[in-house]
Amino acid sequence: MERIWNTMYEAAKSVQNERRISEYIEAGGVAAAILSSSGKIYTGVCIDTCSTLGICAERNAIFNMITNGECEAVKVLAIMSDGRCGAPCGACRELLVQLMPHKYKDVEIMLDMTSGRTVKLGDITPEWWIG
């Protein structure tokens, strides 16, 4: 397994800090790290609200990347509250597809840190509407 995955895992873990923000908002149940094409790691946490105003950790990290002037993700890692990794939800996949319509298929996603199992975004988004 590439060393960068451990660096990304540690970056995401360092911001996770699961917590209740108010009686209506929780944050940090999931944390994510995005490796950009420049080699920089961007992080984000999920923010869950009692309505639909929340955001996934992966999209939060992607928006952090965009805010900092970059727009190309290479690798994605998300840590669930139990410490295991998981694949991005449909909304996060859709954002990556729209962000990188000609390169999204090559984005690598960590599924299991223990075994080092990864998958390409193109493999879990077959025949996406953008093509």
The answer to whether the pTM exceeds 0.85 is: yes
Please tell me the predicted confidence (pLDDT) of residue 131.
60
> What's the CA gap between 3 and 90, in Å, rounded?
27
> What's the CA gap between 120 and 125, in Å, rounded?
9
Q: Is residue 39 part of a domain?
A: yes
Tally of domains within the chain: 1
Q: Is residue 130 part of a domain?
A: no
Beta-ladder partners of 26: 20, 48
- Provide the CATH number for the domain around residue 68: 3.40.140.10
Q: Is residue 131 part of a domain?
A: no
Among 89, 20, 38, 84, residue whose Cα is nearest residue 60: 89
Ordered per-residue pLDDT tens for the chain, 131 residues: 799 999 999 999 999 999 999 999 999 999 999 999 999 999 999 999 999 899 999 999 999 999 999 999 999 999 999 999 999 999 999 999 999 999 999 999 999 999 999 999 999 987 878 76
Q: Is residue 99 part of a domain?
A: yes
Q: Is residue 129 part of a domain?
A: no
Domain containing residue 106: 3-124
Please tell me the predicted confidence (pLDDT) of residue 127.
81
Residues in the chain: 131
